[in-house]
């Protein structure tokens, strides 16, 4: 598991614990189906920015980019390479 995935998983699991107490989560599991609400997704975006010291461009703040841990990992990796 990469450092990026570990960080993302930690952020997601912290949100899930607050929401429903449910963990662990598979990297390809749909986060909405796991119990995150649309408001949680906004919190998740902000937490990912803080965790990795990045700014996610508005055009990349899409449901598809935050569908799963794996999708977020691709987004974070892409943004890190562009920096």
pTM: 0.91
In 3D space, the residue among 18, 81, 20, 47 whose CA is nearest the CA of residue 69 turns out to be: 47
> Does residue 1 have a pLDDT over 60?
no
Question: CA-CA distances (angstroms) from residue 61 to 17, 32, 50?
Answer: 23, 15, 15
Domains detected in the chain: 3-82 (1.10.1200.10)
Rounded-to-integer distance, Cα 27 and Cα 8, Å? 10
For 8-37, the pLDDT digits (tens) are: 999 999 999 988 777 789 999 999 999 899
For the chain, give me the number of helices (H) and strands (E)? 4, 0
Residue 73 neighbours by CB under 8 Å, 6+ apart: 2, 4, 5, 8, 27
For 42-72, the pLDDT digits (tens) are: 999 999 999 999 999 999 999 999 999 999 9
């Amino acid at each position: 598991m990469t450092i990026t995935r570990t960080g993302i998983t930690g952020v997601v699991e912290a949100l899930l614990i607050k929401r429903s107490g449910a963990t662990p989560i598979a990297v390809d599991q749909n986060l909405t189906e796991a119990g995150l609400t649309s408001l949680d997704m906004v919190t998740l975006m902000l937490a990912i920015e803080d965790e990795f010291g990045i700014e996610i461009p508005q055009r990349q703040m899409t449901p598809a980019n935050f569908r799963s841990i794996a999708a977020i990992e691709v987004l974070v990796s892409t943004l890190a390479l562009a920096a």
